[in-house]
Amino acid sequence: MSFSTSFWSLANPARFMSLTARAVPILSVLAGVCLVGGLVWGFFFTPDDYRQGSTVKIIYLHVPAALMAINGWLMMLVASLIWLVRRHHVSALAARAAAPVGVTMTLIALITGAVWGQPMWGTFWAWDPRLTSFLILFLFYLGYMALWAAIDDPDTAADLTSVLCLVGSVFAILSRYAVNFWNQGLHQGASLSLDREKNVADVFYHPLLLSMAGFILLFLALVLAGTRTEIRARRLHALRLRERMA
């Protein structure tokens, strides 16, 4: 079976439930190992930075959370487009399940960024392009979740939240590239680069990679688990409607 055929077969709820029943526990264990490993390595076994002191240890939380905040929305965008074009319910439910995970990642990035910013910049917050676009992305996540909760008809809710997701994608992209677009503000450019001169030092880089892997795997495990719950909730809703009509 080709990757394409295998990917689209996930649109079948029964097939999705069968495959993810095995995937979620494996992903959860891997996420736990990478997350604990990366954070323990970064917190206990890396030196202080010569300029930032011990605050550099916040990088193992802030960068992976920000990465998943943006990519979480982009995953929702892909799922929403699949819903709008091909009307696969599982993709709409996957987008819905990703929102609480994404909003938590965004909140972690905002909190850790503020706590890191105070000693480095002298302020918890500035209306810097990157910080502001991140705050707007956070508000979009909340709006997206509120819209799902506010509409009873699941297909209408999926349609409207998908459109909201398309609009919010502008801010997901701005969150990533605001520093490059405006070249101003307090926030630095990307911490990771293929250029060794610009990349963080190896001593910080390797635990950071492990922590990022942990956040990515945790995101995947939680989104798959959440999608399974949404599929069951949809079935439960249908059964309850039938009971009422009987």
Range 50-79, binding another protein (CB under 8 A)? 53-55, 57-58, 61-62, 65
What x/- string results for residues 12 through 51 when contact with another protein is judged by CB under 8 A?
---------------------------x---xx---x---
Stretch that binds another protein, among 83-91, 156-164, 174-182, 237-245 (CB under 8 A): 237-245
Q: Taking CB under 8 A as the rule, does residue 243 contact another protein? A: yes
Q: Provide the minimum distance between the beta carbon of 228 and another protein in the complex, in angstroms, as a whole number.
A: 7
Q: Taking CB under 8 A as the rule, does residue 96 contact another protein? A: no
Range 97-126, binding another protein (CB under 8 A)? 100-101, 104, 107-108, 111-112, 115-116, 118-119
Tokens representing residue 36 in the block: 């604990």
Q: Which is nearer to another protein, 78 or 239 (CB)?
A: 239
Residue given tokens 């905002």 in the structure block:
110
Stretch that binds another protein, among 8-16, 139-147, 165-173, 219-227 (CB under 8 A): 219-227
Cβ pair 165, 80 in contact under 8 A? yes
Q: Which is nearer to another protein, 81 or 186 (CB)?
A: 186
Under the rule (CB under 8 A), what is the footprint of another protein?
39, 43-44, 48, 53-55, 57-58, 61-62, 65, 100-101, 104, 107-108, 111-112, 115-116, 118-119, 218, 222, 225-226, 228-229, 232-233, 235-236, 239-240, 242-243
